[in-house]
Structure 1
Amino acid sequence: MPSQPEPVPVLSSTQRLLALRAPVHASLSPDGALLSLTTTSITAGTEDTVTRWSLIDIASGDEGPLPGADVGTGRGVWSPDGSTLAAITGTDGTASLVLVDPTGTLPTRTLDGASRVAGAPLWSPDGTSITVPCMRGVEVDRTRPYRWTRPSAAFDGMGPLEDPPQLRMIDVSTGDGTWMTDDGWRWAGVQWSPDGDRLAAVAGLDPNGLEFGQRLRIVGRDGAVTAPATPTCRVLRAVWLDDGRLVALLVGATDRPFGSASRLVVVDGEKVSAVAVTGDVELFGDVYGDSPAELTECPDYVLLADHGPAVIVRTGARGRMGIARVDVDSGAAELLVDGDRCASPIAVRRSTLVFSSQSCERPAEVAVLTGARHSQRRERNLTTFGPVAAGVTARRFVVASPDGPDGWPLDAWFLTSPDAPDGVALPTVLAIHGGPQAAFGESFSIDFHALCAAGFGVLYTNPRGSVGWGDEFAHAVIGDWADGPTRDVLAVVDHAVAQGWADGDRLGVTGLSYGGYLSAWLSSTTSRFRAAVIENPATDLASMWGASDIGFEFMAPQFGGAPYEAAEAYAAQSPLYRAHESRTPTLFVIGEIDHRCPA
C-alpha cells in the first residue's frame, strides 16, 4: 500500500495567534530612516519561542534580518551616530550586552562589563558609554532557612526581590563597567540628560518597605543620587527637553486617590511645576489586553521628548488609547492618533512618529505617521503581522449606568466570530477587567478570540471604578467594590440580552484579579450565570490586605483603613463570606506563585 501522508495538525485559535509575530522592542535610528524591531512568536504546535531581529526601512517599509546577528539576540538600541546597535543576547539571569554593526561588516563585540542584564541599554549622548540595569548576582539558598527584611519577599511578575537591578555604566571602548548604584532599589527607565552629565531614572520597590511604587531619581556620573520633589507613582516615566528641563509623567501618584488622572510635571532644578494640559485629554491610558506584544504596554515608550518644549504622550479615554503632542509651557495638547484602537508611541524623529496600533479585532502592528508636525499627515502600517481578515466582529455600544449623575455612560463591547449566525442569540461570557482602576476596550485579547472561535459571544464593559472617564467615575468604586459595579455590569448584560445578541439562559462570567473578585461576587450573589471561571481572585479582602505584595498600601485607601480599623467593610464585601450561597458551578484558575491576589 502506498504510504499515507502525515495528518496535518489542527491548530487552535490560540496556537494560530501565538504563531504571529508580536512586537516586543523597537528603536528608531537617529536619522529616522531605519527601525530596529524585535519580535517573538511561538512556532505553531510547539512551545518554542522564536526571537526575530530585523531592520525596517521607514520610507519603503521593506524589512530584512539584521546582518550577522546571532540567533536569540535582539532589543537593539541605536548609538547616537547611527553606526552601531547595543543589543541584548541570552536569557534572564544570564543576558549580556553586545555591539552589533547594522551593515554586518564588523564582527559582533561582547561588552564584558555588562552581565546579568535586566533592562534596555541607553547610550550616552557622546556615544562613549552605555548605562544598563544589571543584577549583581545575589543568591539565596532557599533549601536552608533564610531571612528577608522587606514586608514582601517577592513582587508579582518579578519574583524574589533580593537582587534588584542596579545601574551599571559601560565604557564602550574597553567594555569595562562600573556600578552607579547599589542601594536595594529596583532601577529602570534610564534617560541621559542632553549634556551627558547626569541621567534620570526610576527607582522602584523601596527596600525599606515604605512604598511599593516608583520614585524619580537623578544620578550623576559620580553616582551621586538626588530626589526631585515628585510623589511615588505606580508608573513613572521621565524625558529630558533640549533645554535641560526634565518632564515626568506621573501615573497612579500616591498623593491622590487611586484611579486619579495621570499628570505631567516639569522639573527645573529644585522647582517642580505642574503642566495644565488643555482640552479633554486624559493621559497614559490603561487598557488591559492579552497578547505577547510587549511593545504596546512597555512604560518606556509612553512619554517621548519631541522638539523644543513639546512631548509626545499616550492618552486614554473610554477603552481607547491614542497619542498627543503636549506643549509643556502652554499646556496645549494636539491629538495625533485616535479612533477605535489602542495606540502607543514608540519613537519620534522630526516629523516622523512610529507607534504601535491594535484593536479588539486585530493584533498589534507597527505603524508610522509622517508629517506629524504639519497638517498634511499620512499614516501607514510598517508591518502586517496579523491576518488580512479580522478574527472577530465587534459591536461597540454604550449603556447608561443605573446610578451616577444622569446615569454614567458605560462603554461596552460584544465580540463574536465573523461566522456567527445572524439573528441568533449566542451563549455569552461576561469578562470583567482587573484593577479595579483599569479598563477593557480596544486592546487585543487572545483569550477573547479563542472564546469567539469556540462559538461564544464575549461581552465586556468598564463599570464604575474604571479609568478613562474622569476622576469621579474612577473614584466611585472606592468603598464599593461589589454592589455598584454589579449593577453596572448587569445593566450591560441586560442590554445584550434584550438586543438578542446574548442568550440570557446561557451566560458565563470570568475575570482575573479584581475581575476574579467581581466574578466570585456575582457567582455567589446572583443566579444569572450558568458557570464561572475565576482567575487569581481576591475572595477574602482582609487576607488580601495582609498577604498581597501591595496589600497594606493598596487596600486601606479602598476600604477606609486596615482590616482592624474597618473590619465590617472588608467582611461585607468579601465573596468568601457569601460563598455558601453560591449555586453557580465554578472553576478557579490559580497561579501558584501569584503574589498579587493570593487569597
Structure 2
Amino acid sequence: MPPSPFTEAAPGWLSLGVPAGAGALTGLALSADGMLVAATLVAPDPAADRDRATTWIRSTAASAAWTRLDTGCTELVFAPTGRRLLGLARAEEGQVCVVIDPDAGTAVRATPAMISGGAPVWHPQGNGFAWSCAALPDGPRPLHRTRRLGFDLDGRGWLGEDVRQVHVFRGYGGYGGFGPGDEKPTVIESPTDCRHLSWAPDGRTLHFVTERHDERFRDFGAQLFGVDLDSGHERQLTEPDLVAAASLPLPGGAVACVALTRAAGCGSVGAVYTVDPESGERVLRLTDPAACDIAHPLTSYAHGLAAVGGLLVTVQLARGAMPLLLLDPERPGRQRRMLDGPCEVHAYDAGPGGIAALVRSGATAEDVLFLPAEELPEPAAAVLPVPPATTWQTDGTPRLRPLDIAGIDAWLVTPEGPEPAPLVVWLHGGPGAQAGWTVPPDVQRLAEHGYAGLYLNPRGAAGRGEDFTAALLGGPGTIDLDDVAAALDAVVGLPGIDQDRVGVHGVSYGGYLAALLWSRTPLIKAAVVERAIVSWDFHRTGSDLGIPVTDGYWRGGPGPGQRPDPLTVPLHNSSPVLVLAGELDRRCPPAECRLLFGRLVEEGVPAEFAVLADCGHSVGAAPPSVRRARGAALLDWWTTQLPGTAATSAP
C-alpha cells in the first residue's frame, strides 16, 4: 500500500486504504473492540438506473485487506459487543433493517418494510434495536388537505400522513429474521417526526429529537426528548431556542447534544451542550460558538457525536477544513483538533477501541484512517490554529491553491495544460454551509477539461464562528455578493486566467448569488442558475422551508418586494444563462426557476430552461441517468459558451 499523505501530519493514525471497488464511500462503522472497520460503497447500476450499496469489511491490522459483502446496506453500525452489523437496505417501496454477520457473510432481514426516518441504533446489550420509521401507505391518496403551513418537504412529499415514530425491536439477536409471527415492536407514539436516536447505557431510556413547539413550521427549532420505555414517561431535555440534533448519554448521567445556537437556524452555528436529564437544565456548553462551529445536519453532510476513552468526538467546520474535535465533557475548554489541516473528514465512527475516519482532500486524495484508543491524545487548552495554506495532491490532479481575499477563504483550481484558461466561479448553497479542501465535483470535472474554477465561503457561510455566519442576517444578496465580486476581481487578474472567458455556476442559494452576480457585471460571459432562489416573495410560501429561511434571514430587514431579487434587480448583462431546475424539487421549485427564465426571455437575454426529470433538490438522490444527463448538459453548456482548451483527461 502506498504511503498515505494524511498520516504524515497525523501521528498515531494508521492508513487502512480504501476499497478497490468503483463507487463513492459514504459511511464508516468501527467495532467496539476496534478490530474491524466497515465501509459503505455506493455505485450506480446503469442497467437498473439506481445506486447500489456494497459493504466492505477489513481488520484494522496493518496487513489486512478489504473484503466485499453484497448486502445493499447503508447506515452501518456495529453491535456494542461482537461483530454483527446493523444497516438499512431497500425493500418494496421502503427500507428494512438488516443484520449482517461478517464472519458468515450473511445478511438477514430484521423488520418489515417501512419509511425510514434515520439510522437504526443497537440496544446497549445488543439484543435489540430502535429505528425511526413509519408504515408504508396502503395505497394512493386521492386528496391532500391541510390547515397549516409546513405541509410538505423535499424528498418526502406531503407530510402528516407518514409521521416517523420510534419503533423498538426487542430481543432480536440477529439470527432469526423477520416474519409475520414475530413479536410486534414497541412504538413510541409521537405527533411529529422523530430522529437522531440514542440509548442511555442502562437500555431503559431512549433519546430522540422532534419538534413539538408551536412555531415549529416557522423556524428550525427542535427539541431533545428522553422516554422511559418501562413507564412510557417522556421528558423534554432542551427548549425550543435550540435546533437539537445528535445526542449521546454520558457515564455520569448527563446527556451531550449537538445543536444550532438559535431556533431560527439562520445565521447560527453548531455547539455541543450537556443537559441534566432529570431537571432538563442546560448544564454546560462545551464549545464556544464565537470561535468554534460544530457540524450540524443543517450545515454539513458529515456530523454526529461519539465517545472514546471518556471523551466526546465530533466534526468541526473550520475555514474550509473539517477536522475531528475531541472534547472533555468534565472539563469545558479542554479540546483538541485531530486530522487538522487542509483536509475534510467526510465520515467517522468512534468507540472503546478507537476512532475510524474517512478523510479527503483536493480532487482525488482519499483514505480511511484508524487511531487505536491507546494512541488517543490528551485534550489541552483550546488553541485552534488556522489550517496551513498548503494542500496534498497526487500526480495528474488539478492544482488547488488556497486564497485569502479580504478575510474571505477561497480556493482556485487550475488545470494542467495550456494557459490562459477560462474561469468558472462555483457558488455553494446554504448559505450557512461550507466549501473547502475537497474540490466540488462540478469544479473537478471542468478542470479535467481545461477550465479553472474558483469557489469560496462568503460572509454568512459556516466555519468562521457565529459573528461571521450571523453577518448575513438582514442582508442576503448584499455583503455576500460583495465578497464574491471581490474574489472574482482578485482572481481574474492572476496569470493563467483568461478574463475574457469568465462564467458563474451556483446551486440553491448559490444559484441566487450567481443570478445576482451575472446581472451585476458584464465580466460574466455565461451563467448557470441551478435549483435556485430567484424570488423571495415566491420562495417564502412556495418552498418547503421558505418561511423559516426567509423570515430567519430577513428579521427586521426589508419587507416583501424590497429584497435583492433576480426578478427585479437591474440587468447590466445580456450574456447567455442556463436555468436548471429539478422536476420534483420542493426546496427551490421549478415554478420559481421558471419565473427567472420568463424574465430573461422577455428582456431579450439568450436563455435556456432545462428540467431534470425525477429529481428533487438533491441531485445525489436522483437516478444515475439523471446525474449523467446533468453532467453532460453542463459540460456542453460551458464548452459552447466559454470554449476551453483541450481536455487533459477522459470525461
- Give the TM-score normalised by the residue count of structure 2: 0.76
The answer as to whether partners of 2:506 and 2:513 remain within 8 angstroms in 1 is yes
SS in 2 for 1:519: helix
Q: 1:131 to 1:476 in 2, by over 3 A?
A: same
Residue 590 (str. 1) matches residue 581 (str. 2): yes
Residues 13-412 of structure 1: pairs in structure 2 closer than 5 A: 20-42=22-44, 47=49, 49-60=51-62, 62-65=64-67, 71-73=71-73, 75-91=75-91, 93-104=93-104, 108-112=107-111, 115-138=114-137, 141-142=140-141, 144-161=142-159, 162-171=161-170, 172=172, 175-204=182-211, 209=217, 211-222=219-230, 223-231=232-240, 233-234=242-243, 236-251=245-260, 253-254=262-263, 258-268=266-276, 269-270=278-279, 271-277=281-287, 282-285=292-295, 297-299=301-303, 302-308=304-310, 310-331=311-332, 332-344=334-346, 346-350=348-352, 352-362=354-364, 364-370=366-372, 371-374=374-377, 389=395, 391-400=397-406, 409-412=407-410
SS in 1 for 2:424: strand
Q: CA 1:328/1:501 → structure 2, altered by over 3 Å: closer, same or farther?
A: farther
Percent identity, aligned pairs only? 25
Q: CA deviation at 1:577?
A: 0.7
Say if 1:72 and 1:206 are closer, same or farther in 2 by CA, change over 3 A.
farther
Matched residue SS, 1:569? coil
Distance in structure 2 (CA, Å) of the matches to 1:75 and 1:513: 26
The Cα offsets for residues 298-318 of structure 1, whole Å up to 9 and x where unpaired, read as: 44xx2112333x211211121
Distance 1:275 1:118 in 2: 28
Deviations 1:239-263 (A, max 9, x none): 11122210011125316x7222322
Q: Which residue of 2 aligns with 1:413?
A: 411
* Distance in 2, Cα, partners of 1:458 & 1:45: 33
The RMSD of aligned alpha carbons is: 3.2
| Aligned residue in 1 for 2:618 | none
CA distance in 2, matches of 1:298, 1:148: 34
Deviation at 1:387, TM superposition (A): 11
Give the match for residue 384 of structure 2: none
Over residues 340-375 of structure 1, what are the superposed CA-to-partner deviations in whole Å (9 max), with x where a residue is unaligned? 011155222346211121123226532223454247
- In structure 1, distance between residues paired with 2:198 and 2:471: 36
Q: Residues 247 and 112 (structure 1 numbering): CA distance in 2 closer, same or farther, change over 3 Å?
A: closer
Partner of 2:568: helix, strand, or coil?
helix
- The alignment of Structure 1 onto Structure 2 pairs a total of residues equal to 544
User: Partners in 1 of 2:151 and 2:573 — Cα distance?
Assistant: 35
- How far apart are 1:109 and its partner, in Å? 4.0
Separation in 1, partners of 2:227, 2:421: 57
Judged with a 3 Å threshold, the aligned counterparts in structure 2 of structure 1 residues 504 and 91 are, in CA distance, closer, same or farther, namely: farther
Distance 1:529 1:211, change over 3 A: closer
Conserved? CA contact 2:255–2:274, under 8 Å = yes
Deviation at 1:85, TM superposition (A): 2.5
Measure how far apart 1:429 and its partner are.
0.4
Q: What code does the residue aligned with 2:81 have?
A: D
Query: What amino acid sits opposite 1:253 in the alignment?
Result: R
- The question of 1:508 aligning with 2:492 is answered no
Query: Secondary structure of 1:507's match?
Result: strand
1:153 shift after superposition? 2.9
Change beyond 3 A, Cα 1:387–1:529: closer
| Structure 1, gaps ≥5 residues long | 1-17, 290-295, 377-385, 401-408
Q: Which residue identity is paired with 1:338?
A: D
Task: Tell me if the contact between 1:113 and 1:170 (Cα under 8 Å) persists in the aligned partners.
Answer: no
- CA shift in 2, pair 1:198/1:212, >3 Å: same
> CA, structure 1 residues 590+235, in 2 after alignment: closer, same or farther (shift >3 Å)?
farther
Alignment-mate amino acid for residue 86 of structure 1:
L
In structure 2, the residue matched to 1:474 is: 469
TM-score (norm 1): 0.82
Cα offset for 1:276?
4.5
Contact 2:504 2:526 in 1 (8 A): yes
Structure 1 residues 321 and 288: CA distance shift in structure 2, 3 A: farther
Does the 8 Å contact 2:362/2:393 carry over to 1?
A: no
Aligned-partner Cα distance in 2 for 1:109–1:546: 44
For 1:374 and 1:217, how far apart are their aligned partners in 2?
33
Q: CA shift at 1:388, angstroms?
A: 5.9
1:357 and 1:579 mapped to 2: Cα distance?
44
